[in-house]
Structure 1
Amino acid sequence: MSFISKLEAAVQANRSLLCVGLDPRAEQLTDGANDEEKLVNWAQGIIAQTDDQACCYKPNFAFFEQYGPDGLRALQRIIQAVPGNIPVLLDVKRGDIGSTAQAYAKAAFEQWGADAVTISPYLGRDSVEPFLKYDGKMVFILCNTSNPSAADLQLYGLPPLYEHVAQIAQSWGSADQIGFVVGATQPQALARVRTLCPQNWILAPGVGAQGGSLQEALQAGLRADGSGLIVPVSRGVMQAADPNAAAREYNAQIAGEVETFRQTKCGPQSLKKELVGGLFESGCVRFGNFTLASGKKSPIYIDLRRVVSFPALFSLTARFYAEIVEKLDFDRIAGVPYAALPTAAVVAQQLGRPFIYPRKEVKTHGTGQAIEGAFEAGQRAVILEDVITSGGSIVTSLEVLKQAGLSVTDVVVLVDREQGGAAKMAELGLKLHAVLTISEIMTTLKESGLIDAATYQSVRDYLDE
């Protein structure tokens, strides 16, 4: 099983986001004839008392390496002692040139048997790639750590270095391969990384002895689905008189915060309300007298080209697209130029799927191709567009894709203006999937007090006509 498969199964089975840290202290090692036996006996005791509460175990390599060969032999035995349905995240913080990184990766995954590791990104992609070549394994990249002096480097520059790390590292691998380490002591950074990386798992150390707030960390770092955050606790569990009781207490607190998050931020209707409000506040939804591309007059105008200038809104928009797209059957994500291209590219990156786009005008130089990107005839494409009115732009893109030998059965849009687009898609044998309809937008804006009754009625009358 891959790290992600194990992790998600353990999260569900144990109803836990708690990662139990294994950082042995000399005063705890009392049972055994030598250091190896003492370490193994101690760790096996912790594991036996917490394996019904943990979603993950995180042994810290340094705490075993300090005991020399005895410690390393113990680490190998301890990792083997972890139940097979719970992943092991080896905290090694490796980071070196390619050939050395390759050796580190071989040690972590082949010798120690870890499912994931922590990595320093300071040497760039070269230091990470060898770890990603192991199928099903995962790396957690140090991003904004919980130690006090981290700010000297990680907050340097505009945007700060940690944000650059979060953004560039997503191009190194998929969300099933790349996670991030962001300290629970830095809730603002957690929230920022979550905005930049809506799908990636985050390891948030610092709760407990380091003073991080569990509540603030969860509210800032949880994914839109109420998951995606691993909370590692070491001393708070392993030094407790009753590790199982301590782990249960942490899990109860986590469960309470997750439920609060789900009720206030995670429900589909709550997220849709947030999306509609964001579209209105950013000027993507406007009211007045407008002429549409079709030549029709309209009292409402939806300009989703502006979304890209509002990072949080852009992230939320991409998330809604991704939730629909990931359930469909396709080989390529095809964005309709121009408004849908940024979002389609982000969705493709998040889902780890190839992206292409048909050109509005064929180049008269170079290859002169009508579709940008790599594809083959016979493959299936899902079309992403921003808004559908009558569906004209989609039809144009569809013709280009079909001429190239691609088949299309699904179209995904953010907003359906409910003016014949869905019927047109059906005529062409396509199924339309819309995140929002214009009716939903109007109802939400009215209920939220963002528009008055007269504005609402004018648009309703327009739609009825």
Structure 2
Amino acid sequence: MTGFFDKLNSAIAQNNSLLVVGIDPNPEMMPGGDRSRQPDSIEALSDWLRTIIQQTADQVCAYKPSLGFYQALGAPGFELLMEVRQEIPPHLPIILDAKHSDLNTASRLAKTIFQDWGVDAVTLSPLAGQDAIAPFLLYGDKASFVVCRTSNPAARVIQEYPPGQMPFYQHLVQEARTWAPPEQLGFEVGTSRPDALAQVRAIAPERLLFARSIWGDAQHLEQFLRAGLDTTGNGLLLPVPQDWLREANLGERLQQLNRSISPVREDINQTAASCQLWTAPPSSPPHPHRDLILQLFDLQCILFGDYVQASGAEFAYYIDLRKIISNPQVFHQVLNAYAQILDNLVFDRIAGIPYGSLPTATGLSLRLHHPMIFPRKEVKAHGTRRLIEGQFNSGETVVVVDDILISGTSAIEGAEKLESAGLKVNDIVVLIDHEKGVKTRLKQEGYQAHSVLTVSEIAQTLYDAGRIDGSQRDLLLPH
């Protein structure tokens, strides 16, 4: 299945364009004469929108229908939206401008637009918090654009607050970056100020930005491009001016605009490549779970200080993975990372080690369609007095899921309880390995240990990203 970003990048390359057309049934924007008297029948609107698509399909990289315009037309409006979707060439992505923010309807709307309508991306309002965004992030091949700033003058008192300090909209960008990886979440930035766009780019250098309202200062197009493009000359989507949509030579104007944009993109790309060639030392590729590591840090799962571990060992840091279950999007990423390992193992059932790993084992059981069991931490003196909870058959192979390897004691004890019930344990999978030689110990006990991350990988990734300093990196590195 082709994801949004694959589809978008292919369209950008094919048409050499960063332009997005707003494809809306707005009678006031229809061409010709007195627009207040323009026919606003569904047929007239449909013909006009079809013409726009025909004129622009080879000059843009995406289309953006605004849900509100179609809703305003009632049931015929939704039928028109489906017609427009069919008219748009399938290789060009569709970004639905919904600005949705309601927590109660988020799951239903996400299913409707992504599964039923086949839309590729959506714009969302973040003021209800991550919980309202999370249902849209469950569709891994789709994308969401969080609205972080608007050009509406009345919004200034909110998004620029507090005066003289980092404004609210920048805090919003910092927070929303922890909600999803770059391939799932970008930002919509409405502004007529290049400096505001540059500030968002500085906070989120890895994100796709969808600029809006830039044409209030069109003579400064190059400034907007240099403010919003990333170091490769990409990472920015630009809206087609709405008043152009009524012009007969729309295709020619877009072609000219693309020609104006291309030299700036090429210059930025060449400048970055030149700087890297002559001044930057060679660097290793980023860790495949870089975004997950950064989000764990931003969730304060990695703390510095004097801490006593469950094993009794004293560390200068503490990794608290229990916070993950309160963040659905990060938890979803964690499950994906575990699943990548489990997909290559052979087993009949999944066993979680109480208590920290039970949510993870449950999530993996649901995701991978493998039944789950777990060894009790202690056997109760009442009820069934079972050592192993859940149904199983003697001789079956069980993969043990734990959260972290420090001493390995909990994983070994859990595996031994499972084996005492006639089950086979070959593999133990954890999220983080502290690199204290536990994998070797487990191998000596007859188990193969697998980890998504090591503390060394976490330390280096956080240091490279500027989240920790050298002394903190040294504290994390195994000695």
Q: TM-score range by the shorter chain?
A: 0.5 to 0.7
Per mean C-alpha deviation after superposition, the further-off stretch among 141-150 and 363-372 is: 363-372
- What SS does structure 1 have at the residue aligned with 2:248? coil
1:233 equivalent in structure 2: 240
2:294 equivalent in structure 1: 349
- Encode CA deviations 1:74-109: one digit per residue, 9 max, x unaligned: 111101221111100011111112x21222223322
Within the candidate set 151, 154, 172, 1:149 is matched to 154
Distance in 2 (alpha carbons) for counterparts of 1:360 and 1:22? 51
1:225 maps to a residue whose letter is T
2:285 equivalent in structure 1: 325
- Encode CA deviations 1:351-404: one digit per residue, 9 max, x unaligned: 99xx999x9999644345789564687889999xxxxxxxxxxxxx86658647
State the number of aligned residues. Answer: 336
- Encode CA deviations 1:256-305: one digit per residue, 9 max, x unaligned: 221232233x22525874x79xxxxxxxxxxxxxxxxxxxxxxxxxxxxx
Distance in 2 (alpha carbons) for counterparts of 1:224 and 1:375? 37
- What SS does structure 1 have at the residue aligned with 2:96? strand
Please say if 1:135 is aligned against 2:140. yes
Distance in 2 (alpha carbons) for counterparts of 1:153 and 1:177? 27
Distance 1:208 1:382, change over 3 A: same
Scaled by the length of structure 2, the TM-score of the pair is 0.60
Residues 57 and 89, structure 1, Cα contact 8 Å, conserved in 2 = yes
1:123 maps to a residue whose letter is A
Residues 51 and 83, structure 1, Cα contact 8 Å, conserved in 2 = yes
Distance in 2 (alpha carbons) for counterparts of 1:220 and 1:350? 26
- What SS does structure 1 have at the residue aligned with 2:215? coil
- What SS does structure 1 have at the residue aligned with 2:105? helix
Residues 121 and 127, structure 1, Cα contact 8 Å, conserved in 2 = yes
* Structure 1, unpaired ranges of 5+: 277-319, 334-345, 384-396, 416-465
1:8 equivalent in structure 2: 9
Percent same amino acid at aligned positions? 32
- What SS does structure 1 have at the residue aligned with 2:178? coil
Distance 1:364 1:105, change over 3 A: closer
Distance 1:401 1:49, change over 3 A: farther
Distance 1:124 1:241, change over 3 A: same
Residues 47 and 82, structure 1, Cα contact 8 Å, conserved in 2 = yes
List aligned pairs for 1:73-84, cutoff 5 A.
Answer: 73-84=79-90
Distance in 1 (alpha carbons) for counterparts of 2:214 and 2:295? 29
- What SS does structure 1 have at the residue aligned with 2:89? coil
Distance in 1 (alpha carbons) for counterparts of 2:215 and 2:304? 56
List aligned pairs for 1:190-201, cutoff 5 A.
Answer: 190-201=197-208
List aligned pairs for 1:207-226, cutoff 5 A.
Answer: 207-208=214-215, 211=218, 213-226=220-233
Within the candidate set 49, 61, 86, 2:67 is matched to 61
Distance in 2 (alpha carbons) for counterparts of 1:137 and 1:102? 14
Distance in 1 (alpha carbons) for counterparts of 2:174 and 2:305? 31
Distance in 2 (alpha carbons) for counterparts of 1:209 and 1:76? 32
- What SS does structure 1 have at the residue aligned with 2:214? coil
Distance in 2 (alpha carbons) for counterparts of 1:363 and 1:256? 55
Residues 147 and 187, structure 2, Cα contact 8 Å, conserved in 1 = yes
Scaled by the length of structure 1, the TM-score of the pair is 0.62
1:290 equivalent in structure 2: none
Q: CA deviation at 1:23?
A: 3.0
Please say if 1:119 is aligned against 2:124. yes
Residues 21 and 232, structure 1, Cα contact 8 Å, conserved in 2 = yes
Per mean C-alpha deviation after superposition, the further-off stretch among 400-409 and 249-258 is: 400-409
Q: CA deviation at 1:41?
A: 1.6
Distance 1:380 1:100, change over 3 A: closer
- Encode CA deviations 1:108-129: one digit per residue, 9 max, x unaligned: 2234332111111111112111
- What SS does structure 2 have at the residue aligned with 1:204? strand
- What SS does structure 2 have at the residue aligned with 1:165? helix
Within the candidate set 39, 46, 52, 1:40 is matched to 46
Distance 1:367 1:146, change over 3 A: farther
Residues 240 and 246, structure 1, Cα contact 8 Å, conserved in 2 = no
* Structure 2, unpaired ranges of 5+: 33-37, 322-402, 406-426, 442-448, 465-479
Distance in 2 (alpha carbons) for counterparts of 1:66 and 1:29? 20
Per mean C-alpha deviation after superposition, the further-off stretch among 66-75 and 12-21 is: 66-75
Distance in 2 (alpha carbons) for counterparts of 1:263 and 1:148? 37
Distance in 1 (alpha carbons) for counterparts of 2:201 and 2:440? 40
Please say if 1:172 is aligned against 2:179. yes
Q: What RMSD in Å do the two structures reach over aligned CA positions?
A: 4.0
Distance 1:136 1:96, change over 3 A: same
Please say if 1:247 is aligned against 2:254. yes
Distance 1:349 1:39, change over 3 A: farther
List aligned pairs for 1:88-107, cutoff 5 A.
Answer: 88-97=94-103, 99-107=104-112
1:281 equivalent in structure 2: none
Q: CA deviation at 1:210?
A: 6.6
Distance 1:381 1:93, change over 3 A: closer
Distance 1:382 1:125, change over 3 A: closer
Distance 1:38 1:361, change over 3 A: closer
Within the candidate set 58, 64, 67, 1:52 is matched to 58
- What SS does structure 1 have at the residue aligned with 2:237? strand
